[in-house]
Amino acid sequence: DIVMTQTPSSQAVSAGEKVTMSCKSSQSLLYSENKKNYLAWYQQKPGQSPKLLISWASTRESGVPDRFIGSGSGTDFTLTISSVQAEDLAVYYCEQYYDTPDTFGAGTKLELK
Amino acid sequence: EVQLVESGGGLVQPGRSLKLSCAASGFTFSNYGMAWVCQAPTKGLEWVASISTGGGNTYYRDSVKGRFTISRDNAKNTLYLQMDSLRSEDTATYYCARHWAGYWYFDFWGPGTMVTVSS
SS3 category, A75: coil
Cβ of B104 and A93 within 8 Å? Answer: no
Predicted pLDDT at A60: 98
Cβ of B47 and A103 within 8 Å? Answer: yes
State the Cα–Cα distance between residues B78 and B7, nearest whole angstrom: 11
Q: Residues A66-112: pLDDT tens digits?
A: 999 999 999 999 999 999 999 999 999 999 999 999 999 999 999 98
Closest CA to B112 of B21, B51, B31: B21
A103-104 vs B68-73, strand pairing mode: unpaired
A103-104 vs A76-81, strand pairing mode: unpaired
Average pLDDT of the residues in A16-31: 97
Taking the CA of residue A89 and the nearest CA in chain B, the distance in Å comes to 16
Closest CA to A19 of A69, A60, A66: A69
State the Cα–Cα distance between residues B60 and B73, nearest whole angstrom: 18
Tens of each residue's pLDDT in chain B, 119 residues: 999 999 999 999 999 999 999 999 999 999 999 999 999 998 999 999 999 999 999 999 999 999 999 999 999 999 999 999 999 999 999 999 999 987 889 999 999 999 999 99
Residues 47-106 of A with CB under 8 A from B: 48-52, 55, 61, 93, 95, 97, 100-106
Which of B44, B100, B110 lies closest to A104 in CB terms? B44
